[in-house]
Amino acid sequence: MLDILKVTFPFFALVLCGYVAARRRLLPLEAIGGLNTFVLFFALPCMLYRFGAGTPIAQLLDPAALLVYLPCALLMVWGTVAISRNERIGWNDAAFGALVAAFPNTGFMGVPLLVALLGAAAAGPAILTILLDLIVTSSLCIALSRLDGADEHGAAIAARKALRGMAGNPMPWAIACGAFSSALGIAPVKPVMDTIGLLADAASPVALFTIGAVLARSQAVAAASEHGPMPASDFVPVAIAKLAIHPLLVWLVGKAAIRFGLPLDPFALTVMVLVAALPSASNVSLLAERFGADTGRIARIILLTTAAAFLTFSGAVALLR
């Protein structure tokens, strides 16, 4: 366990550094958007391209892994919405709560962390989960968020907007370009590849620092808009579901699938279970702001899962290795 904590500690320490920097205003809140832009549009796509280009195409497009991971994500969305909706939490807040319960922080944190723990082979299954969460899970939850006071056409319009937003996200395109390079065995010329490498090397530290800064900013925005204390029952169960139920569900479904003959690589299952054990994706707080959801609730869930995951994620690694 100590060996695992030695690997995971620097990753979570960088998140804490970003949180403290933004909380103490060493990093102006206005600068966080620039950091996020650098990570999302420059560094992270280069990292994903490099991993995708170096991963066999069969690992990036593994139908067995898809058949295990996607139903679990959909079950997490359905279950979280079912237990969340009450007189205080409508469709909009329940849907974004479901998104933080089902969408791990795989891009900003998971890929570099899993590669550090398990080796480069972990990149393939992790990248597949990013595609599924960006294309399916996010679009579904955004569509569900529009059901408050809307008919099915409102949800359909929201789903189309979500798909357009996904099309403008550089991460799926970077993964697709990496898969194309892997399939054809081609690569950019050396000066271009060296530039991609420099940006890719910057992705992990800057992304982790940005996660902490985004969490601090979300907390500040939420505090300014709240009008009273929030019951723990509104956010703690979702955080527990993210860190405990999601990975357990993926493990159970994966084991059952292997038992019934699905050709799923046990190593790929281990990677997907650890992906599910990651904290919630920090960029969901930005989506919640944009769609008018309760940012205080979402920020609490993300912050709680990120803080607790230092121990829970390390414990999951220790159990699975």
Digit-coded pLDDT (tens) for 170-208: 888 888 898 888 888 888 888 999 999 999 999 889 999
Rg (CA), the chain: 19
Average pLDDT over residues 279-289: 84
Q: 3-class SS at 196?
A: helix
Burial of 182 (0-12, 13-18, 19+ CB in 10 A): buried
String of DSSP letters for 216-243: HHHHHHHHHH--SPPPGGGTHHHHHIII
**Dist. CA 99–CA 76, nearest whole Å:** 9
pLDDT tens readout for residues 30-63: 898 899 889 888 998 999 898 888 878 777 789 9
What percentage of residues in the chain have a pLDDT greater than 90? 51
User: Which tokens in the block code for residue 82?
Assistant: 């079912």
DSSP E strands in the chain: the ranges are: none
Q: Domains in the chain, start-ordered, CATH in brackets?
A: 2-320 (1.20.1530.20)
**Dist. CA 152–CA 50, nearest whole Å:** 41
Q: In the chain, count of helices (H) and strands (E)?
A: 17, 0
287-301 burial string, b = 16+ CB within 10 Å, else e? bbbebebbbbbbbbb
User: Which tokens in the block code for residue 136?
Assistant: 């399916």
